[in-house]
């Protein structure tokens, strides 16, 4: 499964990677049980306050944004976008959430883990705020975020670096035609099932739709194995997202 020998961590490449402080990124999706809505208003309010208190413990560990997926995806109601230099902080938060009064009514519908890494394809394409340059994610607080796991074919990785660069040049050129859409690419190799988790922020869902359609027509799309499920999420303060649930 690994591409390097066991001693590769001591190589120059491994040492260079270790000197760059990179963030871990988690997208955690929750589904609320119907039993929650059967509780009395006072018990629902108590459970929501307990959940918010548990989530607020993450403030000391990193960045957290909350989104509602209610009405957009049947399998989920709520998403927490978590960014931290400490991967264990995700486990601590998930444990605190499950121990909250809302915990018994929560199901983890999906969870994606990744890490930031500088892209190898962007040297020829420099512009302000470029996604590929960043080893740190700074959420733009756009109204919407569109998230999906992404897997490329093994044939893609066997292409020469020059051929992959040529194909990615077209991909990047198309992306820059949609400045209202901000891309956050994170890498999951060895951490989770997918190769990447991509998250597009935008105030305009139509612009993202048009971008995806345009990318379907690029050469690089034939090297895609999987880019589903796709989650459309609406940014809300956590209390607002919970109040939408009843």
Q: Are residues 86 and 140 in the same domain?
A: no
Regarding pTM above 0.85, the answer is yes
Is 210 part of any domain?
A: yes
Q: What is the pLDDT of residue 165?
A: 96
Q: Are residues 46 and 74 in the same domain?
A: yes
Q: What is the pLDDT of residue 4?
A: 40
Is 54 part of any domain?
A: yes
Q: Are residues 191 and 104 in the same domain?
A: no
**Alpha-carbon separation of residue 246 from 6, 39, 104, 195 (angstroms):** 52, 10, 16, 36
Is 6 part of any domain?
A: no
Q: Are residues 177 and 153 in the same domain?
A: yes
Calpha distance 184→211 (Å, rounded): 14
Q: What is the pLDDT of residue 79?
A: 98
Task: Tell whether the model's pLDDT for residue 9 goes beyond 90.
Answer: no
Q: Are residues 218 and 188 in the same domain?
A: yes
From 4-13, 27-36, 78-87, the region with the lowest mean pLDDT:
4-13
Is 172 part of any domain?
A: yes
Report residue 123's pLDDT band, with 50, 70 and 90 as the boundaries: low
pLDDT tens-place string over residues 138-179 = 898 899 999 999 999 999 999 999 999 999 999 999 999 999
Q: CATH number of the domain that 53 lies in?
A: 3.30.70.1030
Is 171 part of any domain?
A: yes
Strands 106-115 and 78-84: unpaired
Q: Are residues 31 and 92 in the same domain?
A: yes
Cβ atoms of 175 and 129 within 8 Å: the answer is no
Number of domains in the chain: 2
The residue-averaged pLDDT of 207-232 equals 97
Q: Are residues 238 and 218 in the same domain?
A: no
Q: Are residues 82 and 55 in the same domain?
A: yes
Q: Which residue has the higher pLDDT, 12 or 193?
A: 193
Report residue 121's pLDDT band, with 50, 70 and 90 as the boundaries: low
Is 2 part of any domain?
A: no
The residue-averaged pLDDT of 29-55 equals 97
- Can you give the residue range of the structural domain that contains 195? 129-231
Report residue 127's pLDDT band, with 50, 70 and 90 as the boundaries: very low
Is 8 part of any domain?
A: no
**Alpha-carbon separation of residue 205 from 140, 209, 234 (angstroms):** 15, 6, 10
Q: Which residue has the higher pLDDT, 192 or 136?
A: 192
């Amino acid at each position: 499964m690994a591409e390097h020998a066991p001693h590769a961590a001591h190589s120059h490449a491994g040492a260079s990677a270790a000197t760059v402080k990179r963030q871990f990124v988690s997208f955690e999706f929750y589904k609320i049980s119907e039993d929650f809505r059967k509780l009395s208003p006072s018990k629902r309010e108590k459970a929501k306050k307990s959940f918010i208190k548990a989530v607020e413990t993450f403030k000391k560990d990193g960045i957290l944004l909350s989104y509602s997926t209610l009405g957009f995806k049947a399998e989920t109601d709520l998403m927490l976008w978590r960014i931290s230099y400490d991967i264990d902080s995700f486990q601590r938060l998930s444990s605190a959430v499950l121990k909250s009064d809302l915990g018994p009514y929560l199901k983890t519908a999906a969870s994606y883990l990744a890490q930031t890494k500088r892209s190898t394809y962007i040297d020829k394409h420099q512009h302000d705020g470029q996604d590929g340059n960043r080893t740190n994610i700074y959420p733009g607080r756009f109204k919407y975020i569109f998230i999906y796991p992404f897997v490329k074919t093994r044939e893609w990785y066997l292409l020469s670096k020059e051929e992959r660069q040529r194909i990615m040049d077209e991909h990047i050129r198309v992306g820059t035609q949609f400045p209202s859409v901000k891309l956050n690419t994170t890498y999951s190799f060895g951490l989770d099932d997918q190769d990447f988790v991509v998250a597009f922020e935008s105030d305009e869902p139509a612009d993202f739709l048009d971008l995806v359609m345009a990318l379907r027509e690029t050469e690089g799309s034939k090297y895609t194995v999987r880019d589903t499920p796709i989650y459309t999420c609406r940014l809300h303060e956590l209390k607002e997202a919970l109040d939408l649930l009843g």
